[in-house]
Structure formats: C-alpha cells, structure tokens
Structure 1
Amino acid sequence: MEEQREAYINAVGTALPGDPVDNARLSKVLGVNEEWIDVFIGTRTRHFARDLGTGEVRWTLADLCAQAGERAMAAAGVDAAEIDFVVLGTATPDTLMPASVNHVAEQLGLDQLPTYQLQSGCAGAVQALDLARTLVTGTGGRGLVIGGDVCSKHLDLRRDLSQATPSELVNYVLFGDGAGAVVMSPEPTGERVALRRVLNRLTGLGRAPGQVIEWFGLADRDSDKQAIYEDYKAIEESVPVMAVEILWELLEELDWSAEQLDHLLPPQLAGRMTRRIYEQLGVPGAREVSCVADTGNNGNALPFLQMERLFGQMAGGERALAVAVESSKWIKGGFALEKLA
C-alpha cells in the first residue's frame, strides 16, 4: 500500500504596494476623524495600490501576486519549470475574464500547467491552501499558492465622506491592498513546515450576508446601490464566537491540546477586533501572530503575511494554528502548521 503523501510549505513571499499610509494622512485625504480611526478600528497603517492623490492605478492585483509569487519561488530555490500548478484566492480580480491567475502566470513565465482561481473573501486563502494540499498529496506535484486583494479599486478615495453611513465609511479605513504566496510540495525542504490540517466549511445557511461587494455591469453601473456593504455589528458579534469554534474544532481533529500550541494566527479584521478575538480564544500560552494593524485588512493576503511573520520566529517542533472567518456568507476557515524538528 502506497504511503500517504504529506504537503509542506517550502517558502513564503509577500508584496505590499508603496509606502504605508498612516491614520493622519488617511484622515486628511478622506476628511474623517483621525481619533475615530485609532479608537474604533485600531489599525495604524495600510498600503494602497492606487495613488491617494490622483487615483492612478500603480499596481494591479496581478502585479502584486506576481511579486509575491516570484519572492516565494526565489526563497524556495525553484524556477518556473519546476512549478506544476498555480492556485489564486481573491475577492477582487482585475477582470472577470481573463482570470487574474493567468495574468500572474504570464508575468512569472508559467505555461502549460493547470491554473485555478477561487473567488472568495477572507476564506479564499484558506480555500487555496485546501485545494493545493489536495493537489500536492494527490499528484505529488509542486504548486504556487497565492492570496491577494486590491480593495482600493472599490473605494472612491476622492469622495466627500461627510454624509457617508457608518457601514460605508468603515470600508475606507479598514481595508488595504497586498498579496502573499507560498510554494507547496511533498518535500520537506526550505522552511520545512507541514500543513497538517485545513478547515474550509460554509456555515451560512439561512443567514443574511455580513458583507456584500456589488458587481456593476453596463446595465446597472449607474444604479444607486452601495458598492460595498458591511454589517459591522453582526461581524463583531459573530466572528469571535466562530473563531473560538474553529480553534477547538481544529485542535480536536488534530488531537492537539491547547498547551501544545506554540503560535496562534487569529482572524485579521482590524487591529482592535483582532486583539479582542485573540484574548477570547483563551490560549495565552500561544504567541499571537498578527499583522493587520500595520498592513490593513488586505483580505486574502493576510494569512500569507501572518505566515511570513510566523516563519521568522518558529522553531523546529513547534506548532501553529490559524483561524479565518469570512463574514460574506459565514465561512469557517483555518489551518494547522508544524515545523519539522
């Protein structure tokens, strides 16, 4: 009987566009209260792929994903010929067609291989890792797994927001842009981090979405529908509860005790809420690995940004667990990592 293959993360790479934008600059551009951003959101800086003054696009999603992918491949010591598939998770593709993953492949010189694009919010990166793990263990191939979002494409940064509703205003200060990538293979090389488990489950039957991003075609682009809607109260109430459920479900599946957990990667909604969720998870012995206060909420880039920070401090034999919640239709996500001794 053939031995079951494992999936290992060999290297990680990330890309953040331009210089960080702090709350003082953002409040001046948007005409919103700086103290409100500091206290209510708790995020200090974020990065934008568009110029704050002119609105000019300086980086596309494909640009950022290609940068992250190139850095991950370089760190893993592999070239284009050694990549067998590409998976991209995003909520903000550059175009509906061609899929952004194929523009990324073009920039990286990848051809004659399967590409997959999963359109999802904060759970998209977890879904990409889930699919990649299945491909690695099933085929023995080596893949490039990418997550990224350019949220600023949905925001009019030059708009007068003095009359904006709280559900709309929060999106202007919460989100940022960025991308991350890992090389995954059946070989424990490079970082030598095993992907032990992935949780990816829709749990939103009968529940109203917590977040909606509209798509406008030629027929409805002039409608008065709000482009982005966020039920922040529902998110504040539900995400911490779901995060606790995810943590203990993964620990039970892995037969790990909370005391055996060395690092914890909590959901990265915003600086203030992330800290609150970490405290509610109740695993003080596990070191928190967070980035959102510095990077902003850049969606599917976040788990890869967290992994980059994690790998810089993770010792052999240590274990880490990541929790992700998507509020669009309430998806539970998470994954478990273990660095070989």
Structure 2
Amino acid sequence: MGRSATPTAYVAATGTALPGDPVDNETLGKTLGVSVEWIDLFVGSRYRYFGWDPATFEVRSTLADLCAEAAAQAVDAAGLEPADIEFLVLSTATPDVLLPTTATVVADRLGIDHIPVTQLQAGCSGAVQALSLGRSLIADGAGAGLLVGGDVTHRFLAQRPDVLHMPTQELVNHVLFGDGAAAAVLTAEPVAEGVAVRGVLNRCTGRGRAPGQILDWYGISDRAVERQLMSEDYKAVEEHVPVMSGEILWELLGELGWGAEDIDYLLPPQLSPRMTDRIVERLPAPAVAEVSCVADTGNTGNALPFLQLDQVLPRLETGQRALAVTVESSKWIRAGFALEKV
C-alpha cells in the first residue's frame, strides 16, 4: 500500500498573467533573422509572450506586475478576500531586484500584511517547491495561502542587440523562453475547485554532476564583462530529462500506491514542445490525456506548472486524478505532484 490518501491541502483556484499580445514565429523570426522552419525545428513553440518590446527592448511588465495580476485572479476565483490569505510563497529565477523580494512587493500590491511571505529562488521546479512548502503550512494550521510562480526574460535576452551574430545555442534561448506568471490558492478545506493534493515530490539529484542550466547576473564589479547570462547544456537535457521524468512518475505512483492506469491527466515537463513530445513518448501512460501549454506560451519557467494546473482544474471530474512531472536541469531536480478531484 502507498501513503494515506487523506489530503492535507486542496487547490481551490488558479490565476494567470501573460503580458501583451502573443509573439508568433514569423514576427520573432524577422527580428532575429531566422526562419519559421528553424524555430519549429529546434523548439516547436508557436507563440510566446514578452513583458518587453523585442524591437525597442522597452520593459513594459515587470515580474511583480505579472505575479500580482495572477495572484489577484486566483484569490478572486477562489471566492476569497486578500484578508483570508494566511501565507504567500513566490518562486522565480528572475526577480525584479534582489531586495526587496518580488514576493513582498506582490503581497503589498494585494493589500496583504502581517503574514509569512517567502520567496524561493528556483527554476522549473520552483512551483512544486512552493506547493510543497504551502502544503506544510496548511498542515500546520493555515486555512488558506497563495502560491505564485513566474519569470521574465528581459535581463537575459533583451540586452544583446547583435542577435545576428549569436551562436546557435544562445539564439535558441530567444525563441524558447517567454514571460508569464501563474498562481494557485491552497486551502485546508475543499472550496471552489476542491482538488486534493495527494502527493508532492521534490528531490535534488545533482550531486557530482555539472549543471544543465546556468543563469548568471551582473554586479557593480563585473558589469562591463561580456558573457552569456543564460546558458543551457541541451545535449545533457536531451539525455537526462526523459529518463528523470520516468523516474519521477514511478516514484510518485509508488508512494501513492497508484498504477499508471489510475492517472487521467498527465502534466509533463514543459522545456519545449519538441522535448515534451520526446518525454511523453517514453512515459508508461499512453492512454492518459496530456496537458501542455508551452507551445502557446513559450517556456515561462516557474509559471509553467501553475499554467498547466490552470488548464487541468476545470477538466477534472470527481474521482479523476492528475499527475505532474517537472525536471529542473540547473542542478538536476526531480519534482512533481499528484492531484485528485474530491
């Protein structure tokens, strides 16, 4: 038998924020000097959103703007008031500034005060880390809390105007990533959507392994140094992520005492549509309905699991189950969660 099915927290509602109009491959290709076919070959996304203007590099939406919008939507959809929120956890790899944290700025904009506010520095697994912490806070007695995940790219992609001279690896990042935020309200009782969190997995497995992703930053002492701020080891990602995804799925199923046939919806990793297809082909759940959004949003980092959650919540019927698999390649983190409609 697996763990007890008694839920410790419920997902009540979600909210999302994607800035501006969607940027299609033809528009982006003209800006970067690459073909639509090239974008489709390497990435497979159809659209992505930017909080900055790709033509002028003007920043129009900050991370705090997007996170506050998504969070307000989630609270309203749950039928709650900001005063009902007893904690806020925000995950991001791209805060607007180091201090004050984006989490505290978002809390201020929502009119929330005198509660625990935590910011997690993480990549794609950050939303799952936020869920893990939020679940613990609910178990410790909180009645309702807010989880937010988001990322913006202007600091890493908009500062290189010489895109025509970029190496292919760096150029891929400009068509792979996008901006966005998403949020979820976690409650101790089944209100609104009332989807029970049955399990959460969060494991760092990168001991002795080189990072698969690096996000750098500039300070006063090295601001004039020319170097790539965002880098990915795509060969390592292609080699390890599909294997790790299968490990995550089996570990979650084993802990819960579920079989692959017990899953109704699968929320697979969302690095890119091309990589998602490769991963799903190797997972032992061929009859499961796939919930993916990366083709229409681009890779929005910390927002992605909550964007998938936003899609699956209204589709779940009583007794149905969903399982999310998330891999962070920075230092190789295996993460995921399991849900059941009650």
Q: TM-score range by the shorter chain?
A: over 0.9
Match of 1:191 in 2: 193
Contact 1:263 1:321 in 2 (8 A): yes
Matches within 5 A, 1:49-128: 49-128=51-130
| Letter in structure 2 aligned against 1:328 | S
Give unpaired runs (5+ residues) of structure 1.
none
Query: What is the identity, as a one-letter code, of the residue corresponding to 2:155?
Result: K
Q: Which residue of 2 aligns with 1:319?
A: 321
2:334 matched residue in structure 1: 332
Partner of 2:21: 19
- The alpha-carbon distance between structure 1 residues 158 and 229, as it changes in their structure 2 partners (threshold 3 A), is closer
Please give the per-residue CA displacement for 1:257-283, whole angstroms capped at 9, x wherever unaligned: 111110000000001111111111121
Separation of aligned partners in 2, 1:155 and 1:110? 33
Question: What is the deviation of 1:39?
Answer: 1.6
Whole-angstrom CA distance in 2 between matches of 1:323 and 1:42: 20
Q: Distance in 2 between matches of 1:159 and 1:280?
A: 39
Q: State the one-letter code of the partner of 2:220.
A: L
Code of the residue aligned with 2:294 in structure 1: it is V
CA deviation digits over 1:45-92, x for unaligned, max 9? 000000122211111101100000000000001111100010001000
TM-score, normalising length: structure 1: 0.97
Name the stretch that deviates more: 272-281 or 9-18. 272-281
Contact 1:5 1:137 in 2 (8 A): no
**Mapped contact 1:5–1:140 kept (Cα < 8 A):** no
Matches within 5 A, 1:263-282: 263-282=265-284
Kept in 1: contact 2:204–2:333 (CA 8 A):
yes
User: Is 258-267 or 150-159 further displaced after alignment?
Assistant: 150-159
Structure 1 residues 3-23: Cα deviation after superposition (integer angstroms, max 9, x where no partner) = x76200000111100111000
Letter aligned with residue 277 of structure 2? R
Q: Give the TM-score normalised by structure 2.
A: 0.96
Q: Write the letter of the residue equivalent to 2:320.
A: E
- Spell out the pairing of 1:1-341 with structure 2 (5 A cutoff): 6-156=8-158, 159-340=161-342
Q: How far does residue 151 in structure 1 lie from its aligned partner after superposition?
A: 2.0
Shift, 1:158, TM fit: 6.1
Determine helix, strand or coil for the equivalent of 2:146: strand
Separation in 1, partners of 2:91, 2:163: 31
Q: Is the 8 A contact 2:7 2:197 kept in 1?
A: no
Segment of structure 1 superposing worse, 270-279 or 17-26? 270-279
SS of residue matched to 1:12: strand
Distance 2:143 2:184 in 1: 14
SS of 2:108 mapped into structure 1: helix
Native 8 Å contact 1:152 1:176 kept in 2: no
The farther-off stretch of 150-159 and 254-263 is 150-159
**C-alpha contact (below 8 Å) 1:31/1:160 kept by paired residues:** no
Alignment match, 2:3: none
Percent of aligned positions that are identical: 59
Q: Distance in 1 between matches of 2:60 and 2:142?
A: 38
Task: Tell me the distance in 2 between the aligned counterparts of 1:151 and 1:328.
Answer: 17
Give aligned pairs, total: 337
* Counterpart Cα distance in 2 of 1:282 and 1:36: 31
In structure 2, runs of 5+ residues without a counterpart are 1-5
Query: For residues 104-136 of structure 1, what are the alpha-carbon distances to aligned partners after superposition, in whole Å with 9 as ceiling and x for unaligned?
Result: 011111111110000000011110000000000
Question: Could you give the per-residue CA deviations for residues 149-201 of structure 1, whole angstroms, max 9, x where no partner exists?
Answer: 11233112662223312221111110000000011011111101001111001
Describe the SS at the equivalent of 2:323.
strand
Query: Aligned partners of 2:158 and 2:306: how far apart in 1?
Result: 27
Per-residue deviation at 1:215?
Answer: 1.2
Q: Which amino acid aligns with 1:144?
A: L
Q: 1:307 and 1:332, CA in 2 relative to 1: closer, same or farther beyond 3 A?
A: same
Alpha-carbon distance in structure 1 between the residues aligned to 2:134 and 2:8: 12
How much has 1:233 moved relative to structure 2? 0.7
